[in-house]
Structure 1
Amino acid sequence: MARPKKRFQQLIEEIDRTPWGPAEQALVTEAVALAVEIGDERLEYEARMRQTASANMNGATDVMLNSFAWCLAHHDADPQRFPADLDNGGADLMWQFKWMAASLRSSPAFSQEQIAAVLDDMESHYRAAGLGVSGVLTARFEDAWDAGRLDDAERLRVQLEATPRDDHSHCDACGRSQIAGFFADTDRDAEAIVLVEEMIEGGFSCGEEPEHALSRVLLPYLRAGRFDEAKTAHLRSYRLAKDNPDNLRIVANNIVFAAITGNEARALALVEKHIAWLAHDGLNVDAHFAALAALAVALDRVTAAGHGDTPVRGAESAALVPFFGEHDGTWSAADLAAASWAAAERIGAAFDERDGTDGHARSLERMRALADEQYDVPIRSDAFVAPVTSSVPADADAWFERAIQLAQFGAEHETLEALPHALEVADPAKRAQLLSMRLGILIALDRAEEALQLLPERIAALRAAGLEAQADLEQRLGLATFGLDTPETKAALEEAIADADDLPAWSRGDLAISRAALHLRASEPDAALDHAEVAARSFTEAEDTRLANTTTLLAISAVLGKGDFEAGAALLDRLLAQDDLSTGHRAQALQTRARVRGGTGSYLEGAADADESCRLLAELGATRALGEAHLLAGALWEDGDDPEKAVSRYRLAARIAGEAGGDATGVDFRLARAMLRVGDAEEAAELFGDVLQREEEAETPAGSRAMTASMLARALATSGEFGQAVGAFGYASELFGQAEEHADQAMSMTEQAKILARFDEHDDAISLLESAAEIARKAPDAVGALTEVLHSLGQAYGGRGDERAFPLFDEVAALAQEHDAAWLLADVTDSRGRALAELGRVDEAVSAALTAADGFAELGDLGSAGGSELFAARVLAGNERPSDAVPVYRSAIEHGAAHPPLVQVAALELGNVLEALGRHGEAAEVRAGVES
């Protein structure tokens, strides 16, 4: 059995270094099964002790209870062979006792007598083992609080506070979080906030902390009017909790926050994302109660905001029937709110009957009372999509017009949806037009077989309309005039065009535009233009304005395909000036001009065109096309340096994509990027995290995931969450490495190093920068990345007085001169001066700093110039050359005029220098200037 035992040991080692989650759970399950197969109860004990902890962290209550019971029985029978503590760094058996009472309390299926028995058993085991009673008091406090025996809970809290802490007390994070939750539940908001802020400031964390604690003080923060802190706490709490179904209570608190702060769309999005978690842990019924109440509050707010008819995606799952009951079709927000309240009341009544209190009933009263609370804390990552403003066509003829307009824009899917209504028209000529549109769309969607079956109906409609020549033509050519691209259809079109002199003008135009479209698809713009010219003349002769304008749009595409943007833009301007341009054609022309303007750098003008196209598409009810149009508008506003407008467009595009069942990942990435640019870093971090998770699930290529991870890291760093940012930059560098994108890998490592250096982890920072420099040299053409990495490494060396800084500065300076990067040259010269100062080379340091200042000033960057001069002045003053420092300080003040903090610091220091020189009048004058 040596080999299975060796495998078992490998599994144990892997379990102990694997983070909680599905991968770790699978390893634990395998270890337990292997121990059973081996038949060694001591090994099974090792595996099951870990299984208890794993199940607790991952919300598998039934597994946890069974595993613990097995371990406790074996420990009681033979404590020597099955010790309470395995010394593996994990929770010991006595610590796990605390989880058992809480787990029994979480389901009304367990009686109060069973819970009391577990608590008594826990206390007897603790006393027998000579352990302190802090852990037991904590468990009894939790029991009293959860049961609604608040007086008992308060007495136990006071007793717990006076009891010495020991190895089985809650950790600092969990202890503060728990008491903060109790304070919030008993209307002691200020005390709750103090505890959580102490926890955050102290950097305390644990398995579900600080996310649980932060969620507990959301309402206290709001009631205290501290909206910024509330928003920050919400975004951080939710981001940390959103991936583990065992965090259902935490997410529930965050759903309530979104609902009562005017973020009803976000609340609905969170409900839809997490509603399936109700079915995750069948024994954690108390969490179900909390979540159902939160859902009810949120969906009531969605209803009050005018969106009660909105379907709640995911609520129709069969796994949720035990909570909401049977229901036909999708659940609306209003109906699900009522069902959620009913379910919460049912569960709460079961708990209160078990406990002999009204604790859960009082909790529901508090939740219902939130209907009277409203706070304005805007979070912009979600929004309801305004209903499309178009009215439903009244009859078949109106549907005909709608379908024509949609087809003229090119909204294929929406046109197909409109066609069945429109085809009820009696006019055979209109039916023929509609059938032509359907045939063209089917071909475009690679559904040629369906199109072939539909062709006889089109031909019959033509004959019924008296268009015999066109019917004969299509009878002969088949699908050639509908876009089918084969050698045979091209040849047939060429032959028909050669013999077209006797055909009616409309038919000649149809042949010409069909051939022009095939030439355009084959990237043959000149040939496409030749045929488009014939088509335009023919349709004009036939007095068909609609197809004449369609031909103009095709010709514009050909002109743009040749790269002649000026001519294309002129044609678009002329077309849009026409009075007879339909809504569909106008929307298409505006969207094309928006792209042209964007491609030629006229971003704001292009964005305005895209916005107008969106308005027209909304009138037409072109939902899918509207989402794509908002995406274009967002991109143009973003390129036009107006990310605020980009955010609103991207947000609508993402919501439309989500409601249409499309892939919103790319849109959400753009939305998060724009949100980061406008300063909504915390919201951006949450969204980047969601995007990265989706990309991981979709096994997106490493390079794309790396870009998302690096943007997530930037958002985290901007939010002040530097620890997580370091991890995200590290992950991004790994992914860039997998993709062999060396420059980006080196830059991610550099950003990681900068954060480490900020917190005085200089050795680790320098090690990272040295590795980054080696990697950056693998991409010598990426000059920007190479200079950034080498410069950063030089600065790190220079800060330690390490001579290795100077060859790096020389290399960066040479690259700056080679590529005419004057600002970089000034910057690296400034860095050289600071490194020289570290080595005590005063004259060289001052010379370099002043040279850098001259370089910055010449480029108009007076703030940086003043900063270099301030450094030079400090070096002089600090090396007993105060007289020399005075004019340098004055120059720094002059250059820093537009930067008040720089001026203030320089002036105060200059005043001190002048005072030391005995120039008291000048010192007073300088100081007076600062004070004024």
Structure 2
Amino acid sequence: MTGFATRIRSLFDEIDNTPWGPQEQALVAQAVALAQESGDERLEYEARLRQTSSANMGGDTDLMLTSFAWCLAHHDADPQRFPAEIDRAGDVLWQYKWMASALGGSPEFPSEQIAAVLDDMEAHYRRAGVGPSGVLMARFEDAWAAGRMDEATDLQRTLEATPRDDYSHCDACVRSQFAGFFIETGREDEAIRLVDEMIENGFSCGEEPEHALSRILLPYLRAGMLDEARTAHLRSYRLAKDNPDNLAIVAKNIVFCVVTGNEARALALVERHLPWIVHDGLNADAHATALGAFALALDAVAAAGHPELTVRGSDAEALVPVFGEHEGAWRVDDLAAAAWAAAGSIAAAFDRRNGTDAHTRNLERLRDTGAERYDVPIRSHDFSTAVPATPAVTREERLDRAVALAQAGSIAAIEPIRELLTDASPDERVTLSAHLLGGLVAVERTDEAEAFLPERFAALRAAGHVEQADLEERLGLVLFGKDLATAGDALRAEVAAAESAPAEVRADLIATLAVARMYEGAFAEAREDAREGARLFAEAGDATRSQGVRLLEVEAAASASQTDEARALVADLLAEPISDGRRARALAARARLHGAAEEFAEGAADADETVRLLLTLGADDLRVGEAFVLAGALHEDAGSGALAAGRYRSAVERFESAGAPTADARYRLGRAMITSGMPQEAVDALHEVLQEETAAEVPAGSRAITVGLLARAYEGADDYGNAVGAWGFAADLHEEAGEVDGQAHALVQQGRHLGNFGEFDDAVTAVDTAIGLIRGQEEQVGLQAEALHLLAQAKMQRGDEDAFDVIDEALALGRANEAHWYVADVTDTRARLLAARGRTDEAVATALQAADGFAAAGDAGSGAGSELLAARLLVGAERSADAVALYRSTLDHAAENEQLRQQAALELGDVYESLGRHAEAAEVRSTLPA
């Protein structure tokens, strides 16, 4: 097998095991290019079969049509050499089914051309002995899309009566298409039945079930199946959101957000997917669908009171052909009008081509749909396991629930407590009124708390707690948490004067003083006060309040670095019968202690249980969000990035619902997504962080950290163009903040990418600037070394005479710091520079020196790369016999780098052939994969 064939077959294997998307598309393009370079049309045929499928899944209609036409022409010319189907590569006859739909998706193609394609498809199927199902489905889809509804109805019925064959659409696609047709023709019940059966049986394919789920959203809502609709939306959008070819699916999900009152979510989706309307220039049908949905969403946002908002991303130059010229980003109301106009223009073009009014009527129906309303709030619970609150039915259950919520520190207790106070017993009034005041003070509703105090005093006196009532009349809301940061002296005076007071009074005072000492940073003293307060409550017979103060003692002991004591205290508490509210707080405390001891998995388990308890109680979103953040942090520290991301995402949703800032949780979410292999999602999360930080005028240094993480997300998503921009922005922000080290780091990373793009002038500027910022700083020697190496490489590519000077400086720095691997790596670069200058003998010697250095540093694999360089240089200098030993050494040292080993084997085989050593050539080639 030739070297080209081996490389291309290797690419085919990689393509066939890579999910649809940018990485797979790049591999396909590489395979096609290599096949063309090889001149082997059979290999090119296999590559292009893959390319047709890839382009179809990626929404590149132009490429799909071109690739298919090439394949079909070769198949028709020589069916033996270019068979219709090649295992794993594709099937021309199957791909034929996409062609009429692709042409029909753009009004640029006349109806006669579409009809000719359908006829040609039918002729090919007949010649191949293929059943009629695939052709009938293609004709049905064309008639339906063009608005020839009678014809489409007849074809649909014929299809139902036609036996399935190998070229029939899959069950998922057939059900989805028929469901969409039934919806449009007023048979929504039948559509629901089809989709429900599809979901129940797990039918799926390339764009299913997300397409079917998006189609069934409105029928579900109209049938009162609100929960099913919500679930379908969350799943459909989640599956569709990363592929521009799913534009029509996203559009239907946006319409769902509009009619369910989720205008803010609808706007976010519009902003995210605006670029998709220029992704595939030949998919005008999807553009019209999306533009109509965008317009409907923007109208809804305006109607909700926000017509003046600007739509992020609407000022993109690529959108000018769609919406027209506009200065800056569009306002919501203005863009809505522009989107309706653009959608109407496309619809009219389709109707002229088709001779119907189907597309115009679809837009009219969409406007009518916008008036529908269903109450389905979205909180994105699909990304985490949401535990529903246990119903509290009887008064006793409601009382226990309210107290437990208060003991958990949740403001969700406030309203239930108010309701329970209306018919509470004297003892209940004492307990409930204390929790109510504590909750009101915690959320700074102090006016309400002050107004309620007289009722509290009356409740205490009615229950016989006269001394407590007198104390609270003197101190007011201080005993419930108000102004404790400055109340220490007053409380100490009260404690000194209360030696003869009842135990419960002294307990309350001392426990409150303990909290004040926490504000003062006197943690050891706070712990002693908490211990005494707990003892006094127990002496007074109030075990419940004693437990609460013992939780305070745990916190104080942990803050005083008395970790072992804190762990023992919390273990004792958890061993006792306590409410779920107190248990949640105790588990959260233990989770933090586990974290401090680097017992992250154990801490994460406790934090997850905390979340579960809070959700079961129905705690408020802010409290639950904080628990999710704790769980996320511990999972992240435990190395479980995916689990951490789920917790952080849930925290973001909870904070959003509570109207609380989300930047910290989103930042954590983005970081966890990067580490767990979800960089594209991380980009979205971190953009939200940056937007929030910018709006809040967060200092430049903090924003620089966010942008740096965003740059890493772009890198993980292979979006190096945006990564370059992000690192540049990070450098600017660090400079604004006066953070030289951060600026230098960002410039070095930017310079690396610029060099990879071949922008060597800009790379030199960025890296040289970074070196100037940190030169001579001992703590930045690692970054300076990296920068010097990058600078040398960029200068080498430019042909700069001083490239050797930079390399020598890098080598000197590495040797001074005994960085052996680094020295070997820079030495390898020096060898390549020598080779580029035509100094072959020196280059070979230097490459071998680099190989020795790598070996000494314990990296024989990198050394193999240097040896391969030396061998190639010798071959180029017509010293092939001398190169054999180096190739052999490369093969020995590249055992863990299969790609390098195969490349060396291929080249060594060619060298043996050139030397007339054919048996040895065959032997080394036999080690290559077939």
Q: TM-score range by the shorter chain?
A: 0.5 to 0.7
Q: How does 1:546-565 map to 2 (within 5 A)?
A: 546-565=544-563
Contact 2:867/2:886 (8 A) holds in 1: yes
Cα deviations across residues 823-847 of structure 1 (Å, max 9, x unaligned)?
4444334334433443455565455
Identity over the aligned pairs, expressed in percent?
Answer: 41
Letter in 1 for 2:680: E
Q: How does 1:380-459 map to 2 (within 5 A)?
A: 383=382, 388-411=387-410, 413-446=411-444, 450-459=448-457
d(CA) in 2 for partners of 1:232, 1:391:
31
User: Alpha-carbon deviation of 1:858?
Assistant: 5.3
Letter in 1 for 2:530: A
User: Alpha-carbon deviation of 1:903?
Assistant: 1.6
d(CA) in 1 for partners of 2:383, 2:816:
52
Residue 605 (structure 1) aligned with residue 602 (structure 2): yes
Contact 1:506/1:542 (8 A) holds in 2: yes
Instruction: Give the one of 592, 607, 612 matched to 1:595.
Output: 592
User: Alpha-carbon deviation of 1:913?
Assistant: 3.6
2:251 aligned residue: 255
d(CA) in 2 for partners of 1:487, 1:607:
32
Cα deviations across residues 435-487 of structure 1 (Å, max 9, x unaligned)?
22233344445555554443332222112112233233334444443334469
Instruction: Give the one of 684, 694, 698 matched to 1:696.
Output: 694
User: Alpha-carbon deviation of 1:793?
Assistant: 0.7
1:772 aligned residue: 770
d(CA) in 1 for partners of 2:710, 2:108:
46
Q: How does 1:345-356 map to 2 (within 5 A)?
A: none
d(CA) in 2 for partners of 1:673, 1:450:
41
Cα deviations across residues 123-169 of structure 1 (Å, max 9, x unaligned)?
xxxxxxxxxxxxxxxxxxxxxxxxx99799658999xxxxxxxxxxx
2:679 aligned residue: 681
1:273 aligned residue: 268
Letter in 2 for 1:903: R
Letter in 1 for 2:648: Y
User: Alpha-carbon deviation of 1:429?
Assistant: 1.8
Letter in 2 for 1:256: K
Q: How does 1:274-289 map to 2 (within 5 A)?
A: none
d(CA) in 2 for partners of 1:430, 1:314:
49
Using the size of structure 1 for normalisation, the TM-score is: 0.61
- State the SS of the aligned residue for 1:502: coil
2:63 aligned residue: none
Letter in 2 for 1:432: V
User: Alpha-carbon deviation of 1:678?
Assistant: 3.0
Contact 2:478/2:487 (8 A) holds in 1: yes
Cα deviations across residues 598-648 of structure 1 (Å, max 9, x unaligned)?
334333332222211111111111122111211222222223222211222
Contact 2:409/2:439 (8 A) holds in 1: no
Instruction: Give the one of 896, 899, 910 matched to 1:912.
Output: 910
d(CA) in 2 for partners of 1:840, 1:275:
56
Using the size of structure 2 for normalisation, the TM-score is: 0.61
User: Alpha-carbon deviation of 1:744?
Assistant: 2.9
Contact 2:830/2:846 (8 A) holds in 1: yes
d(CA) in 1 for partners of 2:241, 2:754:
26
2:519 aligned residue: 521
Q: How does 1:429-578 map to 2 (within 5 A)?
A: 429-446=427-444, 450-485=448-483, 489-576=487-574, 578=575
Cα deviations across residues 17-75 of structure 1 (Å, max 9, x unaligned)?
xxxxxxxxxxxxxxxxxxxxxxxxxxxxxxxxxxxxxxxxxxxxxxxxxxxxxxxxxxx
CA distance 1:296–1:693, shift in 2 (3 Å): closer
CA distance 1:276–1:431, shift in 2 (3 Å): farther
Instruction: Give the one of 923, 926, 929 matched to 2:924.
Output: 926
d(CA) in 2 for partners of 1:829, 1:803:
17
Letter in 1 for 2:402: A
d(CA) in 2 for partners of 1:737, 1:822:
33
CA distance 1:407–1:753, shift in 2 (3 Å): same
Q: How does 1:281-360 map to 2 (within 5 A)?
A: 290=289, 294=293, 316-317=304-305, 358-360=357-359
- State the SS of the aligned residue for 1:638: helix
d(CA) in 1 for partners of 2:517, 2:304:
49
CA distance 1:484–1:710, shift in 2 (3 Å): closer
1:32 aligned residue: none
User: Alpha-carbon deviation of 1:221?
Assistant: 8.2
d(CA) in 1 for partners of 2:106, 2:646:
48
d(CA) in 2 for partners of 1:731, 1:757:
18
Instruction: Give the one of 640, 650, 654 matched to 2:638.
Output: 640
CA distance 1:624–1:480, shift in 2 (3 Å): closer
Q: How does 1:91-170 map to 2 (within 5 A)?
A: none
Contact 1:866/1:896 (8 A) holds in 2: yes
CA distance 1:894–1:397, shift in 2 (3 Å): same
CA distance 1:598–1:902, shift in 2 (3 Å): farther
Contact 1:396/1:423 (8 A) holds in 2: no
d(CA) in 1 for partners of 2:622, 2:385:
14
Letter in 2 for 1:593: R
CA distance 1:276–1:683, shift in 2 (3 Å): closer
Instruction: Give the one of 583, 590, 597 matched to 2:580.
Output: 583
- State the SS of the aligned residue for 2:424: coil
d(CA) in 1 for partners of 2:363, 2:480:
63
CA distance 1:554–1:804, shift in 2 (3 Å): farther
Cα deviations across residues 530-585 of structure 1 (Å, max 9, x unaligned)?
21221222223234332222222212222221234344334334433x13132122
CA distance 1:611–1:929, shift in 2 (3 Å): same
Contact 2:861/2:897 (8 A) holds in 1: yes
2:616 aligned residue: 619
Contact 1:866/1:891 (8 A) holds in 2: yes
User: Alpha-carbon deviation of 1:407?
Assistant: 2.5
Aligned residues: 664
Contact 1:256/1:297 (8 A) holds in 2: no
Contact 2:210/2:249 (8 A) holds in 1: no
Q: How does 1:797-816 map to 2 (within 5 A)?
A: 797-800=795-798, 802=800, 804-813=802-811, 815-816=813-814
1:108 aligned residue: none
2:727 aligned residue: 729
CA distance 1:888–1:563, shift in 2 (3 Å): farther
Contact 1:896/1:902 (8 A) holds in 2: yes
CA distance 1:691–1:469, shift in 2 (3 Å): closer
d(CA) in 1 for partners of 2:881, 2:306:
83
1:103 aligned residue: none
1:178 aligned residue: none
User: Alpha-carbon deviation of 1:528?
Assistant: 0.9
Contact 1:397/1:422 (8 A) holds in 2: no
CA distance 1:695–1:526, shift in 2 (3 Å): closer
d(CA) in 2 for partners of 1:490, 1:221:
66
Contact 2:251/2:289 (8 A) holds in 1: no
- State the SS of the aligned residue for 2:928: helix
1:889 aligned residue: 887
Letter in 2 for 1:695: E
RMSD: 5.1
CA distance 1:875–1:603, shift in 2 (3 Å): farther
User: Alpha-carbon deviation of 1:488?
Assistant: 8.5
d(CA) in 1 for partners of 2:911, 2:106:
68
Letter in 2 for 1:924: A
d(CA) in 2 for partners of 1:894, 1:466:
90
Contact 2:486/2:516 (8 A) holds in 1: no
d(CA) in 1 for partners of 2:777, 2:815:
19
Letter in 2 for 1:506: E
